[in-house]
Amino acid sequence: MGVGTGLDSRYFPLVLDVVSQGIFTINAQGKITSFNRAAEEITGFIKEEVIGRSCDDLFKTDLCDTVCPLKKSISSGARINNREVHIQTKDGRSIPVSISTAPLVTAAGKLVGGVEVFRDMSQVEDLKRQLYTRHRLDDIVSKNSAMQKIFELIPLVAESDSTILVTGASGTGKELIAKAIHNHGPRKDRPFVAVNCGAVPETLLESELFGYVRGAFTDARRDKPGRIAQADRGTLFLDEVGDLPQALQIKLLRFLQERVYEPLGSNRSIRADVRVMAATHRNLEKMARAGEFREDLYYRLNVMQINIPPLCERMEDVPLLAAHFIQRFRNRSGKDIRRISGDVLARLMQYDFPGNVRELENLIERSFILCTGQEIGAECLPQSMLSATRAPQTGLDALEQVERETVRKALHRHDGNRTRAARELGIHRSTLLRKIKRYGL
C-alpha cells in the first residue's frame, strides 16, 4: 500500500473514523501509530492507550506467538486477506475477527510500517452457532429433510422400551442414532452396551452376549457376566445383527419375548431389564423370506425401524459435516486448521462417498496429518478422490459450486424428474429451472 496520494494528511483521521471496520497502523519498529474509532469500539481500547505500544502486547491474538499476519506482510511485502483470528479486548473477552494486512510503503518505495483492517465477526459466529445447534442432535449433524424427521422421531421413541431396528449402509452413523435414543430416554444414566455381531467370532458370540459360569468349558475358571448382564437397566445395542448365527437367533428371540436368559453352562434363568436396539446394513426382510434370518426374530426386532439415508442422498450435509469434523480434529490435535478450500468443497460435493459419513470423517482426519496451513487444500486429498472428481468450474465461487453439485445430484437421484428434485431440495420448480439453466445442467 503506497503512502502519499496527494490527499491532505489532515483529513486522514477523518476518513479513517467514518469507516465501519477497525483500522490501525504500525511503524517499522512494530509500534502502533494510528487507531481509528471503529477499532476503539471493537477492542474497548481508546487511541491514547495504544499509540506507541506493540499490538501483540494488546490484542494477544492466537497468531501472535506463531506467524503474525501484519509482520509477515511487512517482511514479505505481500497483502494478506480475510484471515480469521481471535483477539483479546480490553475487558478480557476473546472475540473472533477477520483481518487483512498490507505493508505501508512511501511513493519513493520506502517501507514505513504496515496497516491492519479488521471486522468483528461475533454476530456471524453467533449465527453460525445457532444454525449448527439447530442442525445437531447429540453428535449427529444434518440439515437434510429426511434426517430432520429422524431428529424429530428420536425423542418420541426414546420414551418407549420398544425394540428399535436402525438400518442403513455402513458408515452412515447407525450407532450414533442408537446412542441418541438412549441418551434422550429414561435409561440415559444407565449403561449403553454395544456388541458388533459381525466382529466377534461365532464360537465366542454366545458367551459374549449371555456370559458363562465356572466350568462351562475348559478355561472357564470363574463366572463371567455377558453383555446383557452389563446392560441391565440400560440399553443393549446389537450392531450388524444380520450376522447372528441361527442358533443364537433363537436364544435372542427368547430373551426379547421373556426377558430371561441362561448363561453358557447354566440351567438357571436370569431376568434382565434391558432395552434392545439393533442395526444392520443388510436387508433383513429379504433374508427372512430366503430363510437366512428367522422371520419371527425379524418382526420382534422391527417394532420400529429407522432408516438412515446414505451421504450421497444428503449432499447438503457435506459442508456442515466437514466443518463439524474440522472442529473435532482441531480440538483434538491442537492444529490451527479452520476450513476447507472452495476447490476441495467443490470436489467433495461431486464425490459419491461409498463409505458415507465415516469416509468423510477419515478424509478430514487424513487432511489434518498433511495440512500445514489454516485451510485444507486439494493437495491433502487422496489421489483416488482427485481421480473421481473434476476441478471446479471456473467462474463459480465455493457456495455456487456446492449449490450446483447439490442440484445435479438431486436431479440424478430422481432420474431427471424436476418436480421430485425440487420437492427434495425444498424449492419451487421454477426456482429449480432457473438454477438448471444457470449452471448448464
What is the reported pLDDT for 7?
A: 44
What is the reported pLDDT for 399?
A: 62
Task: Give the single-character DSSP code of 395.
Answer: T
Closest CA to 275 of 230, 233, 226: 233
| Distance (Å, whole) CA 168 – CA 140 | 15
What is the reported pLDDT for 310?
A: 95
Q: Catalogue all structural domains in the chain, each as residue range(s) with its CATH number.
A: 2-120 (3.30.450.20), 135-307 (3.40.50.300), 311-439 (1.10.8.60)
Instruction: Please list the ranges in the chain whose pLDDT falls under 50.
Output: 4-8
What pTM was computed for the model? Answer: 0.67
What is the reported pLDDT for 1?
A: 56
**Angle of helix 429-439 versus helix 398-413 axis, rounded to 10:** 120
What is the reported pLDDT for 93?
A: 86
What is the reported pLDDT for 128?
A: 63
What is the reported pLDDT for 365?
A: 94
Closest CA to 264 of 228, 218, 227, 210: 210
Sole residue written with cell 453439485: 405
Taking only Cα atoms into account, the Rg of the chain, rounded to an integer number of angstroms, comes to 29
| Distance (Å, whole) CA 269 – CA 20 | 75
| Distance (Å, whole) CA 21 – CA 118 | 6
What is the reported pLDDT for 222?
A: 82
| Strand pairing category for 2-3 and 94-106 | parallel
